[in-house]
């Protein structure tokens, strides 16, 4: 014969667990329930009002001031932590993914003749711009590394890169100092070295700003190969930037122009409210 279900207020041994109406325990339970309800309501209201307050603060560089202050604090922290001896983890080449995502097409939609491509560099302090071919970059010492590419969206992949160190380029072509001194020692650069570098695509539709310590970092590459093959157009052929201590938004594809600056250059995603340094 089927057994009747036990009501939720009755224990397995038949004891009625309900509090006697009007008892001291019943009054205390009611008081606490009301207090919890009021507390949660006030907390929710406070959260809504606080969020509205933050969103209505004056904006700095496209972001409400309190958020921008936090981003700036993070930027100062990551920059203080940046050293030429601090390296991104490297992996075995076999650990790289076979197919690398082609995330983002800004700056890549214009037609390009790879044979006619030139990297244009404006010397620090003025003077005639100089042009470089892919062969010029490939003549520099070749560096290969397998590092993790981290996207600001939250995903990451391991990729094998090959190219020339940006620092080796500046050591051979002394364009980053007003006096024309080459960068021979990263730890002791020329006193008149430019503090910032701006890089744009040939169509000027995508651009990044970098601090000089990032440019001189030994893992920052002028990259022309990915997973043992020349870059495809979707991956920034013929030459792109790779700097694994920064999020992918800084890894500009299809380098067009490089210019040195005294102040932070314009940056595509910083103008959308992201951290200018974009370090991790």
Between CA 249 and CA 149 the distance in angstroms is 10
Q: How far apart are CA 230 and CA 232, in angstroms?
A: 6
- CB-based contact 62:273 (threshold 8 Å): yes
Instruction: Check: pTM over 0.85? Answer yes or no.
Output: no
Domain locations along the chain: 90-101+116-272
Cis? peptide before 238, omega within 30° of 0: yes
What average pLDDT does the segment 191-220 reach? 97
Q: Say whether pLDDT at 267 is over 90.
A: yes
- What span, in angstroms and rounded, lies between the C-alpha atoms of 98 and 269? 28
Q: What confidence tens digit (pLDDT) does each residue in 2-57 have?
A: 566 656 655 666 666 565 676 766 676 667 676 766 667 666 665 666 556 555 66
Answer whether 63's CB lies under 8 Å from 70's CB.
no
**pLDDT at residue number 104:** 87
Chain centroid to CA 230: how far? 24
Mean pLDDT over each residue of the chain, to the nearest integer: 85
pLDDT bucket at 168, cuts 50 / 70 / 90: very high
* More confident: 120 or 23: 120
For the chain, give the percent of residues with pLDDT over 90.
Answer: 61
Give 237-263 pLDDT, tens digit per residue.
999 999 999 999 999 999 999 999 999
Beta bridge pairs of residue 197: 210, 260
**Within 10 A of 262 (CB to CB), how many other CB atoms are there?**
10
> What's the token pair of residue 256?
């067009």
- Given pLDDT bands bounded at 50, 70 and 90, which one contains residue 98? confident
Average pLDDT estimate for 70-86: 64
Please state which CATH class domain 90-101+116-272 belongs to: alpha beta
Q: What residue has token string 């972001």?
A: 63
Rounded-to-integer distance, Cα 37 and Cα 12, Å: 31
């Amino acid at each position: 014969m089927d057994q009747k279900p036990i009501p939720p207020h009755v224990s397995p041994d038949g004891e009625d667990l309900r509090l006697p109406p009007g008892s001291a325990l019943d009054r205390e339970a009611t008081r606490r329930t009301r207090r919890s309800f009021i507390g949660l309501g006030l907390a929710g209201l406070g959260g809504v009002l606080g969020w509205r307050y933050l969103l209505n603060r004056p904006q700095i560089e496209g972001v409400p001031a309190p958020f921008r202050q936090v981003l700036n604090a993070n930027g100062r922290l990551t920059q203080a932590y940046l050293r030429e001896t601090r390296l991104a983890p490297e992996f075995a080449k076999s650990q790289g993914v076979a197919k690398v995502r082609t995330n983002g097409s800004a700056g890549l939609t214009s037609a390009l003749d790879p044979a006619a491509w030139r990297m244009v560099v404006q010397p620090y302090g003025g003077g005639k711009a100089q042009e470089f071919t892919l062969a010029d970059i490939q003549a520099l010492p070749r560096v290969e590394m397998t590092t993790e590419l981290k996207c600001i969206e939250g995903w990451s992949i391991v990729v094998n890169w090959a190219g020339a160190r940006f620092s080796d380029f500046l050591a051979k072509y002394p364009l980053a100092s007003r006096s024309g001194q080459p960068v021979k020692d990263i730890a002791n650069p020329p006193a008149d070295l430019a503090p910032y570098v701006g890089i744009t695509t040939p169509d000027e539709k995508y651009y990044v700003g970098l601090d000089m310590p990032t440019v001189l970092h030994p893992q920052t590459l002028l990259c022309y190969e990915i997973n043992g093959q020349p870059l495809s157009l979707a991956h920034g052929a013929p030459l792109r930037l790779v700097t694994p201590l920064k999020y992918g938004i800084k890894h500009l594809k299809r380098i067009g122009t490089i210019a040195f600056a005294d102040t932070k250059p314009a940056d595509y995603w910083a103008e959308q409210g992201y951290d200018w340094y974009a370090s991790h």
